[in-house]
Amino acid sequence: MKTIDELLAEGVRGKRVFVRADLNVPLAGGTITDDGRIRAVLPTIAKLAEAGARVVVASHLGRPKGEPDPAFSLAPAAGRLGELLGQDVAFATDTVGASAKETVAALADGRVAVIENLRFNAGETSKDDAERGAFADRLAELADVYVGDGFGAVHRKHASVFDLPARLPHAAGYLIATEVGVLKKLTADVKRPYVVVLGGAKVSDKLAVIDQLLGKADRILIGGGMAYTFLKAQGHEIGISLLQEDQIPVVLEYLARAEKLGVELVLPVDILASADFPDLKGKTPAEFITVDADKIPADKEGLDIGPKTRELYASKIADAETVFWNGPVGVFEHPDYANGTKAIAQALTESGAFTVVGGGDSAAAVRTLGFDENAFGHISTGGGASLEYLEGKTLPGLAALEV
């Protein structure tokens, strides 16, 4: 995989460099609530601009349906990028139309432009190779060189991620190089004890990674909505908690494999349970009880791990040398159900281990709960991409850069 440093050594002054970034930031009323992904790609964009490139930044944001939708415009991200770079960033109001062509043509050496949300064009995400390729052809007209640095999208076979690099000289940006380097530390020559913390809503989202990690991790700590399928599989009452009943046979198989392999698969011992899902907008005080994990009342659902589980999980993390965490262990968006996720984050910062926060909601939780990002070894920008890498899958965006 060619590096951006090799590309810079060849010279980029005056060249149009297309940077596929991941500016998929959360918005509330048009205001960015977490600019972590913009800051993550900043070193690549800044270095190219300093070297005199004419930088064309592209990204997706949200899930528009293949046509323009003002709610998913990249305009706020372009504005924030300009603030962080300390220069005005031009913004094209389309992806490959007149505005994009005129905006790119007007770029001077060392200047930066952002084109509108790639997913405003159906060709970006099309499963039809010809349609996707046709969109990549039009994107290629905007550039001389391609730099892939949108790690959060490399697991997608999309036009700007997979097809476009085949049409231009290409290299990997600093963020992708960092992310891949970190993930290699989680898959090869891992320092032990190796502890994995998995949360989130659906156990089905994590089955493939559990399958892989059962042969690699020393301990796997389970939390979040997915924990209740494990508890149900053990025959426990889970009330109205989130359940994927069709996954119980697989969960039982994994529990048996973990025992056979000597892997600690640790489940909650107590739970915060309520009859009502919390109000996440007004965040009114929640009404809940703390119960043993095997005694959740029939009319209540589990919404966070309890105090005994927080202590247990912290103790399982304390002596680790490597920790990977993906997925909150409770409804952290509400302060009354954030203590479990907060305890996991705190345990990581105090462990002395090489710690990796696996993007997505985990990264959002770390920032929302006020932790210093520098207290963690690495905060990934791609939760889904990180998981698929650990599952051993070939990621289309990485494969395209290696050709």
Contact at 8 Å (CB) between 149 and 20? Answer: yes
Q: How far apart are CA 305 and CA 312, in angstroms?
A: 10
DSSP string, 275-307: SS---TTT-PPP--EEEETTB--TT-EEEEE-H
Contact at 8 Å (CB) between 293 and 270? Answer: yes
Residue 109: Cβ within 10 Å count: 13
- Catalytic: which of 199, 327, 382, 384? 384
Q: What are the CA-CA distances from residue 241 to residues 224, 248, 279, 300 (Å)?
A: 10, 14, 17, 7
Residue 26: Cβ within 10 Å count: 14
- Catalytic: which of 360, 382, 383, 397? 360
- Catalytic: which of 39, 111, 202, 367? 202
List the 264-266 sheet strands across, edge first: 264-266, 219-222, 194-198, 322-326, 354-357, 378-379
Q: How far apart are CA 385 and CA 158, in angstroms?
A: 14
225 is catalytic: no
Contact at 8 Å (CB) between 190 and 216? Answer: yes
Residue 193, preceding bond cis, omega within 30 degrees? yes
Residue 31: Cβ within 10 Å count: 9
Residue 395 DSSP symbol = P
In the structure encoding, which two tokens stand for residue 370, read together? 């006020």
Q: 400, 398, 396: which is closest to 157 by C-alpha?
A: 396
In the structure encoding, which two tokens stand for residue 259, read together? 């025992």
13 is catalytic: no
- Catalytic: which of 15, 16, 20, 37? 37
Q: How far apart are CA 250 and CA 285, in angstroms?
A: 37
| Positions marked active-site | 37, 202, 360, 384
